[in-house]
Structure 1
Amino acid sequence: MMFKTTIHGLEDGSGALLLPREMLDSLDLQVGDELQIIETDDGLILRPIRHDNHQRQMDAARVVMDKYEAALRKLAK
């Protein structure tokens, strides 16, 4: 897949790269995730850094359980 984005200037002179929602979804990335940036002769490679995939899955499960707590309680009876 190919995505297009723009580098946005920040007040301190640095730049911020905004990733399209479609890219985040396809790579299973969330706000706060870390990316490794690798410079090559052809450009850049962005690679997700997965610190603890198990913890990430548990956090996702907690979000779902919190969201559907009432329904899950009824199903548990």
Structure 2
Amino acid sequence: MSEAKKVETAEATVLQIRKIGNSLGLILPKELLVQLGFGEGDRLEVVRQPEGGLKLQRHDDLHARAMAAARQAMKDYAGALRELAK
């Protein structure tokens, strides 16, 4: 017997930017948070996508530190990397 595969449909949720104290923010509906597996207190990263969209993902301290180290190494060794790329 084969199980029926669940087909996810992309539903658009329209959010409005609102004033929250002295800042601006988005309020995410509880149902959306449950679907995404996010909860109160979770730290999220916003990643800009090439097509102009945004991606939300959990913040990972280890990954963030590794990316910072990689960016610094690329900056420090830009000349050598440019020569190696030839």
> How many pairs are equivalent?
50
| Aligned residue in 1 for 2:65 | none
Q: Comparing both chains, which one has the higher relative contact order based on Cα–Cα distances under 8 Å and sequence gaps of 6 or more?
A: 1
Structure with the higher fraction of residues in strand conformation: 1
Aligned with 2:15 (options 5, 25, 33) = 5
Q: Unmatched 5+ residue regions in structure 2? A: 1-9, 62-86
* Shift of residue 50, structure 1, vs aligned partner: 5.5
Overall identity of the aligned pairs, in %: 28
* Shift of residue 33, structure 1, vs aligned partner: 0.5
Matched, 1:48 2:62: no
The structure with the largest alpha-carbon Rg is: 2
Per-residue displacement from partner, 1:19-52 (whole Å, max 9, x unpaired)? 111111111111110111012341211112367x
Q: Unmatched 5+ residue regions in structure 1? A: 52-77
Is the Cα–Cα contact under 8 Å of residues 37 and 46 in structure 1 kept in the other structure?
Answer: yes
Q: 1:50 and 1:4, CA in 2 relative to 1: closer, same or farther beyond 3 A?
A: farther
Question: Which 4+ runs in 1 deviate beyond 6 A?
Answer: none
RMSD: 2.0
